[in-house]
Amino acid sequence: MSITKQPSVISLLARLKRGEISALEVANAYISQVDAHEPQIQAFAWFDAEYVREQAKQLDSYRLRGLPMGPLHGIPVALKDIIDTKAIPTENGTALDSGRVPKKDAAIVEMLRSAGAIIFAKTRTTELAFLTPCETQNPYDATRTPGGSSSGSAAAVAAGMVPIAIGTQTGGSVIRPASFCGVHALKPTFGLISRRGVLLQSPTLDTLGVFAHDLGDLALVLDVLAGYDEQDSATQMAPSPQALKTCQEPAPVTPNFALVEPPGYEKASEEMRAALEELGEVLGEQVFSTTLPKAFDEGIHARETINFAEMAKCYYPYTKRGRDSLSPTLLGAIEKGEEARARDYIAALDWRNILNAGLDELFERCDALIVPSATGEAPAKDSTGDPILNGIWTLCGTPVINLPVFTSSNGLPMGISLVGPAGGDARLLRTARWLEEYLTEQQASEEVA
């Protein structure tokens, strides 16, 4: 299919507020995109066009009556199908939850509704948000994977069927699909967004993330969703990140970057490595190359120990009522978790602080790290791709942004990740915007020359 540039959410909101378009017109525009592309992409686990239209009509009624408009008034948002939605199926990518309809909305669904967003669809995910591929296809090439486990969320945004989608990341399930599908994505600081009402796989690692076509849109949604929730112990009482305001401000000084080879970099394709080297040349004095401390190699194993041990605990109800219905890949991970020693698990929990201490020294010298978002272009759809380059940042709990800046020789997207210090989400978005604008200017200069 042909991928076309989509309007930003911020531009749509401006038109909605001026009354130039209605929420129903916005909804119908995206419904027509679903009609055109969903039969091929298969991004949605649940979609009801009339339900979408009814929400839009209600929002238009609010505006015509002069009632306050929320920060996402009339904007369609799709949700990964492990996020509970009241009266709407949430089946977690497994036959064991077929027909499951929650009685309550997840915390972020409550926030989205309060902000005036339209709950547009539930997006397909891999089995219980792990590695077994689902039906969703990559919008750029039907023979390739869209990535996982937030497969449908990334593909739906890339195909223009929805402007915003929410996913989750425990290893690399937001950043990797964004890279393969050529969209912007943010995995925020761990604990910045409540996970109440979201399927838990690994409470120490699980992080909600956002897919969009524009950095400002990521920032806007982060402002809506960030906040303390007494029912999620990972969240903390803190002021609003003011991500959109910061993202739109000019950088006070020219940012500096560190070009880093993370654990697993040897698996990156030659094309990805060459692209990163070229990026380094373009940035010149604004970037330096460095290596991570040896401890980061150990961190890969620590993340896996935490993930699998907590998965064995969280998914115990599934193994108890339907072990034979689970895939060999998922069962293998659960069994590793069941065999994990308590001392190894407890020791693994220390690695977040150990690794962040090493990162603190790096962030004294730069504003952001530049690393590959995936090993290369999207592989064949019999896998979701290798998460080796993503998991370490999930363990650290640092914010990560995917920028879709590279194209492979096959015409497929390849992304880079910008990694910032924990809690520095707003500044990272501003730094990403500077980099994106700088690269656009450099490309324009080359074309003129």
Sign of CA dihedral 266, 290, 390, 155: negative
C-alpha distances in Å from residue 95, one per residue of 39, 127, 153, 241, 321: 21, 9, 20, 39, 12
Examine the residue annotation and report whether 80 is marked as an active-site residue of this protein.
Answer: yes
Q: Which of 22, 150, 151, 173 is catalytic?
A: 173
Tokens matching residue 45:
């686990």
Sheet order of strands, 184-187 included? 44-47, 118-123, 76-80, 164-169, 207-212, 184-187, 400-407, 413-419, 368-372, 257-261, 287-291
What is the C-alpha separation between 417 and 56, in angstroms, rounded?
Answer: 35
Sign of CA dihedral 335, 337, 338, 339: positive
Q: Which of 22, 149, 153, 179 is catalytic?
A: 149
Residue 190 has phi, psi (to 5 degrees) of: -55, 130
Tokens matching residue 238:
């803190």
List of residues 6+ apart from 123 with CB closer than 8 A? 43, 44, 45, 78, 79, 80, 81, 136, 150, 151, 152, 153, 155, 156, 165, 167
Examine the residue annotation and report whether 173 is marked as an active-site residue of this protein.
Answer: yes
Tokens matching residue 145:
């994977």
Beta strand 76-80 with 184-187 is: unpaired
CB 154 within 8 A of CB 177: yes
Examine the residue annotation and report whether 194 is marked as an active-site residue of this protein.
Answer: no
What is the C-alpha separation between 114 and 130, in angstroms, rounded?
Answer: 30
Catalytic residue numbers?
Answer: 80, 149, 173
